[in-house]
Structure 1
Amino acid sequence: MTVIDINSDMGEGFGPYKMGDDEGMLAIVSSANVACGFHAGDPDIMRRTIEGALARGVDVGAHTGFNDVWGFGRRVIVGDSLRTIENATAYQIGALQAIATSAGHRVTHFKPHGALGNLMFKDSDLADAVARAVKSVDRELLWVVPPATAGEGAGARAGLNVIREVFADRVYADDGHLMSRRLEGAVIHDKAIAADRVLRMVENSCITTHSGKRIPVHVDTVCVHGDTDGAIGMALAVRQRLEAAGVGIRPLSASHR
């Protein structure tokens, strides 16, 4: 039986401000990428999200980014050196690990957020710096990145366990990378279309770009973004479509250890 993980970014509120429906999403996904306080999140939100994940048998991962609450981590912080990015990544992972340990859970994986993740599509030096940070804190953390990117190569060079990720609600350009959110049609809002696309990616081990080009990829996990309108409905449609086709849903740690 084919087995896949479904992940979503969570814990992305701040103080009294809420982003997405984490409780609803935790009932659907098998892995949660939890904001570590830089682009979003705070200790209380981190704790609540981790406790919710633990109660539902959902994996927890460190979702790190630039120190950019105002821009939700989608802006490149000009002037950050590679050493600063490396240190900031280690800092955020450590913060989440401390809260997870306190809550009786553990951090199983790592996934970059926003502008940091986008830079890791092509910037090998930056991707290597982030990989060094992850390896220095916990070399057993699963390294979640899109395939055919600098991030994938960095994880392999660092000897990390690379997990290839595709996106349910994003359109791909012909280079195999995500189309910019600034472009019309880059984000998919129709849950039926998204669910069908995911099943094809999983069954055929390939992505289909906006022009119809097919690019072979290995798929370990599917991301459904939790901060978009209709996110819960889309995540549920994706899971139901996969399960109806006989695909099993398992947390990353259940099949990649």
Structure 2
Amino acid sequence: MDNSLIIALDFANKSEAERFLAPFEERRLFLKVGMELFYKEGPAIVHLLKEKGHQIFLDLKLHDIPNTVRSAMKGLARMECDLVNVHAAGGREMMQSALEGLEAGTATGRERPNCIAVTQLTSTSQEQMNCEQLIPVTLDESVLHYASLAKNAGLDGVVCSARESESIHSQAGSSFLTVCPGIRMESDQVGDQKRVATPEFARRSGVSAIVVGRSITRSADPVRSYEQWMNAWRGVHK
């Protein structure tokens, strides 16, 4: 999934998501289904999108006791998503249990979904982490610690800011996935994100995949916006 651009389907229901996807016709996309859409539509939305040939990042950020996460991942694996995630803060045992569940739920002859761990949300600031999570180190140190924990647990990568991708790859290796939200064009509003970066910066930093939402999904011409983003992400100048 290297060099992927993942579109965040942050819609309230299936109708809104289908309306957005209609202009893309037969194009195969990498789509993120998050809590809002999944909790409204359930597994049916994943099955629908997979039937249309799209790759799916099911972004539910599991964080619970190891046995619960193992059982949940066993069920998620049966949906044949391409990418799922947990919170690294759940600890090594929980992350290992997530992999066990994915392996158990994956049909024979198929590859299990990639599993990545959220380090620190890109909406989290240094002050928030220190004062509200009571983590006394720097954001970079916290992210690197969680990435190391995920790597040692056998996960395939992490969710992080593009600013942290290079140091994570230096520590965990270039094949360890860095999936990065908080990507904005220079002209975009930052919104609720704190640690943002441009697609050009992400590419130079060796990011594996970027996640883009409103800049495409709220555009008056989403197909054109998607193509502009893909050009920027791939370094194509037109």
User: Larger % of helix: which?
Assistant: 2
| Larger RCO (CA under 8 A, 6+ residues apart) | 1
